[in-house]
Amino acid sequence: MFQPIADGSKLLVKESILPKSANTIIFLFAPILTFVFALTGSCVISIGEATPIADFNLSLLFIFAISSLGVHSIIMAGWSSNSKYAFLGGLRSAAQMISYEVSFGAVVLSLFIVVGTSNLSNIIESQQNVWLCFPLLPVFVLFFISALAETNRHPFDLPEAEAELVAGYNVEYSAMGFALFFLGEYANIILMSALTAILFLGGWQPFFNFMPFTLIPGVINCAIKTMLFTTLFVLVRATLPRYRYDQLMRLGWKVFLPIALAFVVLFASTLLAFNAGVEFIR
């Protein structure tokens, strides 16, 4: 239990080594930016019946925009180090994140078409009778796998493959700069876990709509669901092997993206046909 505290204290008091030929300002600013972006997205997360810090109609789009900005800090870290290993690692990571953000956005778009709102609080309230993970099971699986790739976790952790690829964009970082990158990564894991629980498992809605489950506070319900997905992140890391890079890119562009776009077309056409049928009957 005290091991994380010891590791954090050790990294906090260590000396930060700056490469001689690095761009110092960008080199120091990149890990801070990564951590700030990871924390910024949490301001719209509804962890209970209470209103989140920022509650507005485009909160889902806000999280998607914030997650896409994380690519900039990775490119900054790889380029400012003035190291070939770090620069190639930054390009590798940016290509991966951009590739899976496309399918991630298509999944979010299909969810928005079905629910009809991008407000996270309204999405939670719309799942009062049934969680969206049941009628939208394929979309739910696509979303979770895309979240794994978005956070650079197994089996998509090529940006941090220490044994094979000399780490990546953070290879020149030490002490607190190195710690901020990993704090940002694990904050992104918690954010994506909470977002998955909100979008597909009803957020703070109870597990079952009868006693005594309805007496459990919404904060505890949301925390349990978030911890479930966080545990899945860890289990996937312990069980699955790492993809080759060509396999990773092929999976993102030739498998996930066509399937996600197919679901967008399917949901949009189904709802359009249903509304047209209702209007014809009227």
Q: pLDDT tens-digit profile of 66-86?
A: 888 888 888 888 888 888 888
11 versus 163: the higher-pLDDT residue is 11
Q: Write the DSSP symbol of residue 49.
A: S
Residue type, 124: I
Tell whether 255 is covered by a domain.
yes
Residue 80 domain boundaries? 9-281
Q: Degrees (nearest 5) of the Cα angle 200, 39, 19?
A: 130
Q: pLDDT above 90 covers what percent of the chain?
A: 0
Tell whether 3 is covered by a domain.
no
Tell whether 95 is covered by a domain.
yes
How does the average pLDDT of the chain come out, rounded? 81
Q: pLDDT tens-digit profile of 200-242?
A: 888 777 776 656 666 666 678 888 888 888 888 888 877 877 7
Strand (E) or helix (H) holding 24: helix 24-40
- Given a cut of 50, is residue 280 above it in pLDDT? no
Our count of domains for the chain comes to: 1
Q: pLDDT above 70 covers what percent of the chain?
A: 89
- Given a cut of 60, is residue 282 above it in pLDDT? no
pLDDT (average), residues 34-38: 85
Cβ atoms of 194 and 222 closer than 8 Å: yes
Tell whether 132 is covered by a domain.
yes
- Given a cut of 70, is residue 277 above it in pLDDT? no
Angstrom CA distances, 177 to 8, 26, 31, 167, stand at 12, 12, 6, 15
Tell whether 4 is covered by a domain.
no
Tell whether 40 is covered by a domain.
yes
